[in-house]
Structure 1
Amino acid sequence: MGISRILIANRGEIALRIHRAAHEMGIETVAVHSTADAEAMHVRLADHAVCIGPPSATESYLNVAAIISAAEVAQCDAIHPGYGFLSENAKFAEIVEAHDIKWIGPKPGHIRTMGDKVAAKQTAGELGLPLVPGSDGAVSDPEEGRKIATEIGYPVIIKAASGGGGRGMKVCESEDQLETLMKQAGSEAKAAFGDATVYIEKYLGNPRHIEFQVFGDGEGNAIHLGERDCSLQRRHQKVLEEAPSPILSDDERHRMGMICADAMAKMGYRGAGTIEFLWEDGGFYFIEMNTRLQVEHPVTEAITGVDLVREQIRIADGKPLSVAQDELEFNGHAIECRINAEDPFTFAPSPGKVTYYHPAGGMHVRVDSGLYAGYSIPPYYDSMIAKLIVYGRNREGCIMRLRRALEEMVVEGVKTSIPLHQELLRQDDVLNGDYSIKWLEEWLETREA
């Protein structure tokens, strides 16, 4: 017997996204919800709904016992965690499987390994993923420091081994500064953390954030579905994402994608995953791996034609990958704007009642949202209320269509980030694809000044 009823352990647009994929596969859905989400669209559309607690996420969407009870009472044979909440909680995945319920996600062991920064970096290196070059461990001798810095190339960054918060960190541009800066970093580290140990890494001054979408069947077969450029960020929160990256060549995409796919095959990875890198001057440097579906997955769907949620469900049901690497074609360009209920420039949250809602439409325009007129956006959860995803035959055409879609989209009653996206699409650097992870914050600062 295959999967016939899925419990969706999430809320908002992603819960709706999972419901739609399941229904297209002939699978029933069970929505769980807090009391604050009783009128949410995913609750209205699901085949069954179970209230699992009060508004606080801790007492509802993070309440493992309540979710498992709901799954058992509703006789679900699988749980999809979406993203956020319990999606990368290895213990929850283990509990789900211990109750003979299929977990629509990676093996719990892989979630645990990749959720630990030290273990993830070590595993990534063993799997052949490129890491930020640097010393293997502590460096105390300036001569040894010079040798390492010369090998990896200046600028380098000297970091306190016990560090954090930017203390005990020094960027070194040339060899003649190295000894002095090593001493300074060591002294700061000793004062701040009681440990003078430092290590050396390649300094990435202005990198981009580029991530690869991967899929494995858990049996040693894996593919990549290209990359997404998520460099437009504020406080490490992504604002706009696009695929493919405007900076990569087809050769780089293929080479790096295959390195990622091969790593996942070696690992025996199951389901959807995203391998995140910093990119600078042609070099990729592993940051982390997300063992779940990403918010920005629709841009990958747009350029590949593959339904990633459907693929997740198939894999969890023991079926093979629906597409082989050599069958995948990458066509056109897609951009996603995250639309939040917040002031577009101060970013202050703006929950409240939506008095009027008109989603953008037209050819190759997709809106993932649970909004409707009369809906009250609760103040208890993340402020993202919609994702506007636009596809074009090329990047220029995609941007023109996105501008039109942003003009057309109306959300009244609350403030939204739509005006921010409209202004971003007037900036030459964005139009030219010439931006890094620092660009948005620097632009916001100059705009305020």
Structure 2
Amino acid sequence: MEEIVLFWFRRDIRLHDNVGLYHAVQSGKKVLPLFIFDPAILEQFPSKEDKRIPYIYGALEHINRELDGYNSQVFVYHDSVLAVFEELIQTHVISAVYTNTDYEPEAMKRDNTVQMLLAQKNIPFYKYKDQVIFHQDELLKSDHTPYKVYTPYAKLWRSRLTEQDLHAWTVAFKSDYFVAKKEGQIWPSLKQLGYLEREVVSFEAPDFDSVIIQNYTANRDFPALDATTRLGIALRFGTVSIRACVRQALHNNETWLSQLIWREFFMAILYHYPHSARMCFKKEYENIQWRNNEGEFEAWCKGETGYPLVDAGMRELNDTGYMHNRVRMVVASFLVKHLLIDWRWGEAYFAQKLKDYDLALNVGNWQWAAGCGCDAAPYFRIFNPAEQQKKFDKEKQYIKRWVPEYETDTYVDPLVEHKFARERALLAFKQALK
């Protein structure tokens, strides 16, 4: 039986500029491209209408069509990761497994378990840096400890960046590079995975809109405009290369580059401080006495708070799986500061709803809004939703798109008065930090 290598797709669902796949092809052995729908992970996507699984499925179909030109396919499994690898070890002669590094705590535990299984069979497990420009211990302070503040981290990030970091890991594929497609390897359907079948593929190959990127600084804060890149989901699942994004940002917009660096900063924070996935980065903030009123939380979830910018954002999220970034900050601040509801409740709701949900970014931004994260700003930064509306949706275009009953008798009264809520929040935080 011929020796092969496996390439395991995870957060890198693309064929081109994929570091791990490049090295798998360079091994000289035929590559079996692999993706696993793990039931334990699918349980975290409870809604049959979840928009992420069809996106992943569509992305796999997209690369499968290209692999078909090389007489190959993506081998897709619906089983636990260990069960799949045990089956593949039994049915193939595997000389190595290649993949790209995932930095989330649970993913790292999973990879350690896989590595132990492979080691028992003397099969090397090679992991590569692909979803970030700098990872793990590449950017540390002079005392070799991780950065906790964005600004000095970003300064070092920019100073260390070289052309080599932006090198595209692309190879000219040939038919004999891949394991031949197998008629008996039938993909599980979306229905079998527990999700609604769809009439059209929800995946579109990501593209760079140079006009949007060039005007990003001026327009990015106005939710009524279609003025953001919408590449969050592509970066989350790796259907676009981070190197390609940084090249575009360097050529077109410094502000967008800063956002890409924020992404890596939050990923570095989660990697070095895994407790922050579920706990406040600043542990003293665990002393806050949250109100956690379930009725008010439900009103926030539905977009029925009586604050139109908050309600518009939540309705956009519920309807589309997306929310404008400026509005994300407003709705998060409102939940935590105005309603005194634990940031983890909001983080968990976003995890259920956001198509571009990313643990590190979501946790980092929610803790930023709550004031309990690694941000240097004090806890008494509290957004005024009315002022945010005047600044960023003055003509009420965004609000009227999502809250059509606004300025009519049927629109709900505000859950809480702003000045009262602000003073209540300041007192609660002050008492917690005595």
Query: TM-score, normalization: structure 2?
Result: 0.32
Query: TM-score, normalization: structure 1?
Result: 0.31
Bigger fraction of residues in helix: 2
Bigger fraction of residues in strand: 1
